[in-house]
Amino acid sequence: MDRDGHRYTFGIGENYHAQDFLGAHEGTSDGVEGYYFRVWAPHAEQVSIIGDFTGWYDAPLPLERHISGIWEGFSPHARQGQIYKVLVQRHGGQVLEKIDPFARLLEKRPSTGAILQKSTPKKWQDSLWLGRRKRFGFKSRPINIYEVHTGSWKTDESGNPYTFERLQEELIPYLVDMNYTHVELLPVMAHPLGKSWGYQLMGYFALEPTYGSPEAFQDFVEACHLHNIGVIVDWVPGHFTQNDDALAYYDGTPTFEYQDPDRATNVGWGSLNFDLGKNQVQSFLISSILYWIEHFHLDGIRVDAVTNMLYRDFDQGPWTPNCYGDNRNLEGIAFLQKMTQVVKSYHPEVLWMAEESSFELPITKPVDQGGLGFDYKWNMGWMNDILRFYEMDPIDRKHAFELVTFSFMYCFKEHYLLSFSHDEVVHGKKSMMHKMWGDRYHQFSGLRNLYAYQIFHPGKKLLFMGGEFGQFLEWKSHQQLEWQDLEDSLNHKMQVFTRQLNQFYKDHRALWQIDDDYQGLDIIDADNKDESVLSFARQTDKGELLIGMFNMTPVERQNFTIGVPVSGLYEEVLNTELEGYGGTWIKGNPPQKTTPNSWKHYQQTLTLTLPALGASIWKLKRRGR
């Protein structure tokens, strides 16, 4: 595409690789090598480049304005590795140093200069992984995600976050050992404050330099793929940091943000909302996400805070209705639909997930059916209900049993991911283990029960780091996980349990092959409130069958009987109360044959001992005749 084509498509919201034109690029002018600089600042009075090659303020490089609002200039003195900034004389006369919005490499904070780079394509070695991803897709495959905050999984001897080189050495072997299928990273794009966890972005094309170079991140993703681990990254297209040296009011007028100050200002998060109806912003954001997918071979994207883009009244501040008199953000809805269609047209095999908490719009239905076109939606309702239930005293659970059963009424309304994310273990919410009822022994029993229920319930899975070994303290983003907890026997056994549960999930097709239809689910008994026992089955299209029973009280149920859909010999394949996991059972239940008997609408029954506050999962080993 030539310059005019780039400018035109950027202006109509259809330049989906705008970083190939805007920003800084190597080139020649009249046979002289140097760098071209292009900045979109439509209402600026003047735009210049300052940097190492201009002596900074000694001889700024003035750019020329095009009718498109894009300023352009060429420097024969600019060289790879040099630092530069954009000097904007804003509408009204104020002069500010700003970041290059399309910069792919920034200085470490608190500095914000961009660093000139040459484009050197990586010779990737993950073609086998990409081929399998394209061939098999993800809907009928296991997805069990380990969510990681890059800055606090582990820190080095000086307390600094691991770089991607170090994470490649230690995190990837840990993921393999723990039998996860994917790792999801909180935003790794450049952000000005670590305390934001990366959710107030500054660089939409730049890796956070605290974690290393873009090449190091490419190598990390490649190494994950070579070890059969998918990589998912969080991304924030709804709002951005309000720091004055970043995108905020770039040319002195609302540029990336809404014209209406009430819509532009995100009071609750102290940030600014993108004007999602502006064509140039659409080009900017869609280019950003395609860049991350393509340049880093990512396997999935989780779009953060989708609800903020769907409704005008999501925030705490004042709001005005749309032209129809309601609270829908029509521009936001249209942009999300457009974005999903574009991303899926380029990369249908990449996971596209939404963090969204309302039920008014079909998030995972195709756009042509009125949906937003995402592949998965985080099931926030299930998460809130289930955590509330497991925090209860067991004596009260029979009065709130619908908290663990209600999800079966809607679990296929959307394509869901079941998440216990970072948001649930901060701000006084307590860690996953600390949420559980009872003394330390019962807390671990409850946690094993909960994780088994999550794995057995329809939907893809996610667990935030530290939860796998039952860290007691809630997550602190400024220090590493409490790895010393693993010196405690119960924490160590909890880690062993999670490792084996993850492998159990991968090994049993019934838990993921039919994950979006009632054909893969049979609710056996959701009415046993008095004993607080839930039982249901998962099955494959070939008739492979698993029966799961979840005892929500610390009372062992001997001679416990349920109906089962198929006669035959069943064997217990998972018991959360085994001694090796931190429980008291030396060995599990012996295999059991079904008994012809009428039980609800079933004609066969299975009798066993159900462990106190435990989960017991059985597999049909041999069908009856």
Peptide bond into 161 cis (omega under 30): no
**Residue 25 pairs with which residues in a beta bridge?**
36
DSSP string, 206-266: EE-GGG--HHHHHHHHHHHHHTT-EEEEEE--SEEE--TTTTTTTTSS-SSB-SSHHHHEE
Give residue 51's Cα distance to chain centre. 36
How many CB atoms sit inside 10 A of residue 562's CB? 23
pLDDT 10s digits, 494-535? 999 999 999 999 999 999 999 999 999 999 999 999 999 999
Q: Is the per-residue pLDDT at 270 higher than 90?
A: yes
Token reading at 547: 């029966």
SS3 534: strand
pLDDT-based confidence at 361, cuts 50/70/90?
confident
Percent of the chain at pLDDT above 70? 100
Q: Report pLDDT for 358.
A: 82
* Cα distance between residue 392 and residue 564, in whole Å: 29
Distance, CA of 359 to CA of 381 (rounded, Å): 9
> How many other C-beta atoms lie within 10 A of the C-beta of residue 80?
10
Which tokens sit at 7?
């400018």
Alpha-carbon distance values, 475 to 155, 191, 429 (Å): 14, 20, 10
Helices (H), 380-465: 380-390, 402-405, 432-435, 440-456
Model pLDDT, residue 120 = 84
Question: How would you list the strands of the sheet with 545-551, edge to edge?
Answer: 521-525, 533-539, 545-551, 615-623, 568-575, 592-593
What whole-number distance in Å separates Cα of residue 35 and Cα of residue 29?
9
Q: Which pLDDT score is estimated for 175? A: 98
Average pLDDT over residues 282-286: 98
What's the CA gap between 615 and 169, in Å, rounded?
A: 35
Q: Which of 296, 301, 310, 297 is nearest to 342 (CA)?
A: 301
Single out the residue of 305, 302, 295, 253 nearest to residue 278, CA to CA: 253
- What is the per-residue pLDDT across 432-474, written as a single tens digit (0 to 9) for each? 999 999 999 999 999 999 999 999 999 999 999 999 999 999 9
**pLDDT at position 315 over 90:** no
Strands (E), 471-611: 521-525, 533-539, 545-551, 557-564, 568-575, 592-593, 595-599, 602-610
CA-CA distance, 227 to 506, in Å (whole number)? 15
Model confidence pLDDT, tens digit, residues 66-110: 999 999 999 999 999 999 999 999 988 999 999 999 999 999 999
- For residue 494, give every residue at least 6 positions away whose Cβ sits within 8 Å of its Cβ, in sequence order, or none: 433, 444, 447, 448, 468, 469, 470, 581, 582
DSSP H or E stretch at residue 183:
strand 182-185
pLDDT at 579 over 90: yes
pLDDT score recorded for residue 414:
94
pLDDT of 119 reads 80
Cβ-Cβ contacts under 8 Å for 486 (sequence gap 6 or more): 469, 492, 495
Q: Is 355 a catalytic residue?
A: yes
Q: Could you tell me which residues come within 8 angstroms of residue 2 by beta carbon, excluding any fewer than 6 positions away?
A: none
**Over the stretch 594-610, which tens digit does the pLDDT of each residue have?**
999 999 999 999 999 99
Q: Is the per-residue pLDDT at 625 higher than 80?
A: no
Q: Provide the pLDDT for residue 570.
A: 97
Q: Could you confirm whether 349 is annotated as catalytic?
A: no
Cα-Cα-Cα-Cα dihedral sign, residues 145, 149, 153, 154: positive
Summary mean pLDDT of the chain: 96
Question: What DSSP string runs through 498-523?
Answer: HHHHHHHHHH-GGGTSS-SSGGGEEE
Condensed to tens digits (0 to 9), the pLDDT of residues 232-245 reads 999 999 999 999 99
Give the pLDDT band (50/70/90) at residue 180.
very high
Q: For residue 204, what are its two tokens?
A: 């939409």
**Per annotation, catalytic residue among 100, 147, 251, 304:** 304
Contacts of 90 (CB under 8 A, 6+ apart): 43, 44, 45, 96, 249, 251, 252, 253
Burial 117-146 (b: 16+ CB within 10 A, else e): beeeeeeeeeeebeeebeeeebbebbbbbb
Say whether pLDDT at 430 is over 90.
yes
Q: Quick check: 593 and 569 in contact, CB under 8 A? A: yes
Percent of the chain beyond pLDDT 90? 94
The pLDDT tens digits of the residues spanning 5-54 come to: 999 999 999 999 999 999 999 999 999 999 999 999 999 999 999 999 99
Tell me the mean pLDDT in the region 615-622: 96
Q: What are phi and psi of 135, to 5 degrees?
A: -75, -45
CA-to-CA distance for 343 and 601, rounded, in angstroms?
46
Q: What pLDDT is recorded for position 357?
A: 84
Confidence of residue 317 (pLDDT cuts 50, 70, 90): confident
Of the candidates 208, 219, 251, 355, the residue annotated as catalytic is 355
Residue 261: what are its φ and ψ, rounded to 5°? Answer: -60, -30
Residue indicated by tokens 């098999």: 136
Residue linked to tokens 């480049």 = 49
H or E element: which one contains 272? strand 271-273
Q: CA of 171: how far to CAs of 86, 154, 177, 295, in Å?
A: 37, 9, 10, 21
Q: Give residue 312's pLDDT band: very low, low, confident or very high (50, 70, 90).
A: very high
Q: Helices (H), strands (E): how many in the chain?
A: 13, 31
What mean pLDDT comes out for the span 533-561? 97
pLDDT in tens, 394-409: 999 999 999 999 999 9
Please give the average per-residue pLDDT across 381-387, as a whole number. Answer: 96
